[in-house]
Amino acid sequence: MKSIIFKASILLLLIGSLTACSSNSSEINKTGKEYSSAYVCPMHCDGSGSDSAGTCPVCAMDYIENDKH
Ligand SMILES: [Zn+2]
C-alpha cells in the first residue's frame, strides 16, 4: 500500500514540474499578435489584438492601446 502512495506522490511531482515549465514558456512568449498589436486585450487572450479599436473576440473586453507598439 505504501509503495502506491509513494508512486502517486512522484507522479504528482512530475505533473507539477510539467505545468511549471509550460507556464514559464507562456510568460516568455509575449511576441504574439495579442501582445504586439496596436490595440490589445487587457487579458491578452489567444487570437486577440487588432490594428484598430474594438473588443476582444474571446472575453469581450474592450481593447486597450498598446504602449509598446
Ligand atoms: Zn480577451
Closest CA to 49 of 60, 61, 62, 63: 63
User: Tell me, what's the pLDDT at 49?
Assistant: 96
Mean pLDDT across the stretch 45-58? 96
Helices (H), 1-69: 2-28, 33-36
pLDDT, residue 33, reads 92
Residues bordering ligand 1, an ion, CB closer than 5 Å: 41, 43, 45, 48, 56, 58-59
What number is the average pLDDT over the span 41-54? 96
**Which pTM value belongs to this model?**
0.56
DSSP string spanning 29-48? ---SHHHHSSEE-TT--TT-
Show me where the domains of the chain are located. Answer: 32-69
For 5-46, the pLDDT digits (tens) are 888 888 888 878 877 755 555 555 688 999 999 999 999 999
The CA 57 to ligand 1 mean position distance, Å, reads: 7
C-alpha cell belonging to residue 32: 504574439
Query: What contacts 37, CB < 8 A, 6 or more positions away?
Result: 48, 49, 50, 51, 66, 69
| Ligand 1 center to 51 CA (angstroms) | 15
